[in-house]
Structures are given as C-alpha cells and as structure tokens.
Amino acid sequence: MPEGHSVHRIALQFERDFVGHLVAVSSPQGRFAAGAAEIDGLRMLEARAVGKQMFLRFEHDKWLRIHLGIYGAWDFFGTISAITAESEALGSIGAPRLRRAVRMAETEHTKDTDLSTFPPEPVGAVRVRLATEDSVADLRGPTACEVIDPAQLATVLERLGPDPATDRSPAAEDRFVTRLRAKPTAVGQLLMDQSVVAGIGNVYRAEMLFRARLNPHTPGKKVTEDQARALWADWVHLLDLGIRTGQMLTMDGLDPEAQALALANREDRHWVYKREGLPCRVCGTHIVVEVMAARKLYWCPFCQK
C-alpha cells in the first residue's frame, strides 16, 4: 500500500502538470462515469495530499477524493515534470521529458509504453482518466474515488491525524503526542491508525519503532512524552526524505557505496522490514515477524525489548 510520501509525490505531480489547466475527465471503465461528468472540462485549481489520501480541487468547489488503498495506482503519460531536484538526480519520476510513461503507486517506475500516438488508448480497468493537452493521468484500482463538496472534505480531514508534510507546527505535534499517549492500544497499532497520525504504513511503522528502539507492544499510554515527540520528529524527517527522493530510506549515515545499494535494492534499504529470520544489523538477533493491525510487523526482540 502506498505510504504518505508516495501520495504527496503524486499530488506534486498533479501540481506541476495539471493545476491551472482545463481537464478532460472520463471513466474508460465506466464505474466512475457520473462522477467524471461532474468535473469534466473544469479547471484544476489545487492538488493536496493528507496522509494516504489525495484531494484535487476543481472549479465550482468540486473536489476529487482518491484513496489508492492496496491496489490503486496512477499511470502518467506525456509531459512529466520534475518533482524535486533529488528525485531528478536519482532518476525517479524526475527529469522533464515529453512522451514519458510513469507508474506511481507504492513505488515509481518508468513504463514501457508506445507513445507514438498521444494520448494512448486506455488499457485495462481505468477508473478515471484526467487529460490536458500535454499530460494524461489514469487511475486504476483505488479504494475510494469520488467527487465531494467542501463540507464533505472537511469531514474527511477532521477524521485524519496530523500530517507533518502539511502541518509540522507545535500544535500538530502536540495533537499527535496527546492522541498516542491517551490510549492503551499497542504503539505498533497506533502508528498505523490514521486518526492518530496520517501517512504511516507498514514499512515506516516497523522502521520507526526500530529506530526508536521501542517495543511495538508498548501501550500508547506507557510511551513517554519524550519518546512520543521523538517519534514525531523521526516521522517529520523520514517523510520529508521520502517525498524528496521517492524512496523509503530508513537507514541513516550510509557511505556513498551503501547509499547506492540502498537506492537500487530494497534489501539494503531497511533495518528490519521484510528481514524476518535474518540477523539484526545492530545486535545479530534474528528479526521476527508477526501480524499486528492486520499487517505484518517486523522487529528485533533484543534491540526493542
């Protein structure tokens, strides 16, 4: 499932190439035909991400809400502008080129697609197609895709916890700390609760808990205030890094060779995620895996006593 940094990068892509343009909206699959008709031909005015959800604002106070869920993905075709200098340097969804095809979901990669004819014909179950003269975005497999009004938008946002990519104020930090420490639920579950903090998924949960040397079963109310504030600061850091690079890089202090390996291979990118049965990179204890909050949780029984 795409985590917060991926959704923010997708929103940035829309900001670069769609905001300010009149957009032709259709539903090649047919399942979103009525919603597409509501915003077809309108100008896109804003692209915003909060946690794992994205909101595209069109004229007449109409918002398109998208939650990719586990299977959702965006395919971009045509003009794909640079998002950040870091992502351009890393060869991610970066350097502006015409007639480029890129898929953005949990990971990003260039697709082998014939763009000699533009726009390309929709392939497969495309829920919605957004098209300007130079850029096309196809959405497939989302958990949610709907047109909402400002009141409905406010309701959705009220349910979400703070997202440091949109608000890293002391008030947002305090909100996270208060919500986390008010509950007896295990911290490993609370970090995945989007009403506590927005955007953290399975990878970041495991890595943040290891980086904090915090046992995932620790009740939220037993997490100290200093520990909670340290978790927030780490999420601020990791989310910003993910948005800039397009990668979930959770191992700090790597030399250039190790950095290159981490960028090229997920197995060299994380402390504990998907390393069950392998020795901990710090203490040598075998990493364990269990199910928490319906997702696999990876952690070190020694480092995270």
End-to-end CA distance of the chain: 28
Whole-number Å distance between alpha carbons of 63 and 150:
7
Q: Is 219 a catalytic residue?
A: no
In terms of Cβ atoms closer than 10 Å to its own Cβ (0-12, 13-18, 19+), residue 68 is buried
Q: Is 170 a catalytic residue?
A: no
Q: Which of 2, 28, 142, 162 is catalytic?
A: 2
Half-sphere exposure of residue 248: CA atoms within 13 angstroms, side-chain side? 28
Both structure tokens of 271: 């402390």
Q: Is 222 a catalytic residue?
A: no
Whole-number Å distance between alpha carbons of 267 and 257:
14
Q: Which of 48, 99, 183, 295 is catalytic?
A: 295
Whole-number Å distance between alpha carbons of 66 and 53:
6
Q: Is 2 a catalytic residue?
A: yes
Q: Which of 9, 52, 129, 205 is catalytic?
A: 52
Active site (catalytic) residues: 2-3, 52, 295
